Amino acid sequence: MELKQLKYFVEIIRAGSLTQAAKSFAVTQPALSQAIQNLEREMGYVLVERGPRGLTLTPKGKIFIRYAVEVLDAADNLVEAAKGAEEVERLRIYSGQTVATWVLPRIFSELKKEYSDLFIEIREGDDQFVQKSLLSGEADLAITSEQIENEDVISHFLCEDIIGPAVASEHPLAKKSKVSLNDILKEKFILYHAESAIQKIMDKLFREVKIADEIGRVMEVRSLAGMVKNIEAGMGVGFVSSLVKSEKLFMIGPGQLTYKRKFFLAVRRKREVRFKKISRSILEIGGTI
């Protein structure tokens, strides 16, 4: 029995047909069919039944595939463990805008002290893009605002932030001990573009406190950095992450307009061994932010 046979068998069941599985491996359908027949002959029993509706696992086939998947995962872990004995020279980490702008620079500043020769590649995108990149293998690690619901992914809590309204440090509202909704509604708002994750949080909060129709818009920006700069310039009230560090900016209440969220560091299960050490370092640094 060879690992290649197990890979063929598992992929056939996942794909649901010999045709699709053959495309995945760039082999002919007859060659794939012959490989499965050889596997069945070696095992001494039928693994799949072929019918007009496609392939169906036999009772023994259902048991066999469970162990076949475990064997293939163990083989992948063996390869990754061998790689893990070497220092990681290149790290591809994908995240959303807030983390890419305000968290990763601080993390990697510390990380470089331990991994001086590490080449770090960062790509920014929304959660959907980040998750897709991790699952496809394009990203080594991913930081998301939600845990990825996939059995092939392991997620660890990294850090927490609060989304809330902010003004320039010299703004009158920054001097008040308590800011009310009425105080804020008297101000003009700087908003993000409609597809921004933070703008969606803002819209949700506005609806919950029933002020969505009372917001006075002064401008719209496309980045968190643009939001920060315009708030600092006194253009109006804007929503930012508590992870933003600026002496020219002051976060204000009220509590109804704040939103807590968590960030998670994710890695594919089969690559956990290879990136275990560097992931642990990132998590330790993240815990200090």
Cβ pair 38, 5 in contact under 8 A:
yes
What is residue 65's predicted lDDT score, i.e. its pLDDT? Answer: 87
Dihedral in degrees, nearest 10, Cα atoms 269, 273, 278, 279:
30
The least confident of 88-92, 171-175, 228-232 is: 88-92
pLDDT tens digits, 59-75:
888 888 888 888 887 77
Mean of the per-residue pLDDT values for the chain?
Answer: 87
pTM for this model (two decimals): 0.69
pLDDT-derived band at 160, boundaries 50, 70, 90: very high
Going 7 to 11 to 13 to 17, the CA torsion angle's sign is: negative
Return the pLDDT at 85. Answer: 44
Q: What average pLDDT does range 101-116 have in this prediction?
A: 90
Position 31, amino acid? A
* CA–CA separation, 46 and 36 (whole Å): 10
Peptide bond into 105 cis (omega under 30): no
Which domains, and CATH codes, for the chain? 3-84 (1.10.10.10), 90-158+263-286 (3.40.190.10), 161-261 (3.40.190.10)
Confidence of residue 82 (pLDDT cuts 50, 70, 90): low
Compute the distance between CA of residue 144 and CA of residue 128 in angstroms, rounded to an integer: 9
% of the chain beyond a pLDDT of 70 = 95
What is the Cβ-side half-sphere exposure of residue 121, based on CA atoms within 13 angstroms? 8
Between 154 and 151, residue with greater pLDDT: 154
CA distance 164 to 208: 14
Average pLDDT over residues 95-115: 91
Torsion of CA 80, 82, 87, 90, to 10 degrees: -40
| pLDDT reported for residue 45 | 86
DSSP sequence for 58-88: -HHHHHHHHHHHHHHHHHHHHHHHHHHTSPP
Residue-wise pLDDT tens digits, 228-259: 999 999 999 999 999 998 999 999 977 889 99
Average pLDDT rounded to a whole number, residues 139-152: 92
The radius of gyration computed from the CA coordinates of the chain, to the nearest angstrom, equals: 26
Alpha-carbon distance of 278 to 138, in angstroms, equals: 18
What average pLDDT does this structure show over 215-234? 92
DSSP H/E element including 1: none
CA 252/CA 181 separation, integer angstroms: 11
pLDDT-based confidence at residue 167 (cuts at 50, 70, 90):
very high
Q: What residue spans of 115-178 are helical by DSSP H?
A: 127-136
Higher pLDDT, 80 or 42: 42
